[in-house]
Amino acid sequence: MGTITTKDGTSIYYKDWGTGLPVVFSHGWPLNADAFEDQMFFLASRGYRCVAHDRRGHGRSSQPWTGNDMDTYADDLAALVEQLDLRSAIHVGHSTGGGEIVRYIGRHGNKRVSKAVLIGAIPPLMLRTPANPGGLPIEVFDQIRARVLADRSQFFKDLTLPFYGYNRPGAKVSQGVRDTFWLQGMMAGLPACYFCIKAFSQTDLTEDLKKIDVPTLILHGDDDQIVPIADSAMLSSKIIKNAKLIVYTGGSHGMCTTEKDRVNVDLLAFIKGEV
């Protein structure tokens, strides 16, 4: 575990487990690299080098006022990959992290990328626009912003219910998982928590998706209450050349935790070229 410093002086924390072909993880909002510990431990135990960073403003990285936008997130990821000299990396992104790696490939190309995995990812665009009529109205994101400013601690506690599908009948609720989400969310700085909402909701990644020409796996739950599948994975899988889509029946947004064993098996099979 260590840090790198970006060109604007931001310190980016990362963890680096194992040796072998690199697998690089980009987390969702408002979490940090810890959200991928289950996948990282599984793959590092099987001969892969697993690298995950805390996005600027999140977790253990520094909390600049500026740069809380998708272009800078992508540039920070590029700086991490280059400073660690990672080559032929498999990039795995969940939610906002999926947008981050799509914009990274769109801005920096695929010379260091061999494969990509999008899990519950935000592309191509979450916001409803005339060109994206299936998106969510701006009022949804305005309400999130208002709740973050009013009492983000309580909001993060409440968000765990739809995030993990714990509000569904018969759901097996883990208070530990809920507490971990809250802890990670509260490790993020308020500016990042607030400004990232615009980044994940209003960044149009359609043109970036068209530039992806490495094998891509898309995993998405059909009961994702945070990033509805119809306007995300179903569209991205048609835009990305030769993308492989696996739909988790009843899967929630937090399926890297709630269905970690299946996600781990699917990731390993894709990395090994078996999917």
The residues annotated as belonging to the active site are 95, 224, 253
Which pair of structure tokens corresponds to residue 137? 């109205």
- Sheet holding 244-248: strands in order across? 2-5, 11-17, 48-53, 21-26, 89-94, 113-119, 216-221, 244-248
Residue 196: closest CA among 48, 17, 71, 29: 29
Cα within 13 Å of Cα(96), Cβ side = 29
Q: Rg for the chain (alpha carbons), in Å?
A: 17
- In order of 129, 137, 143, the CA distances from 251 in angstroms are 27, 23, 25
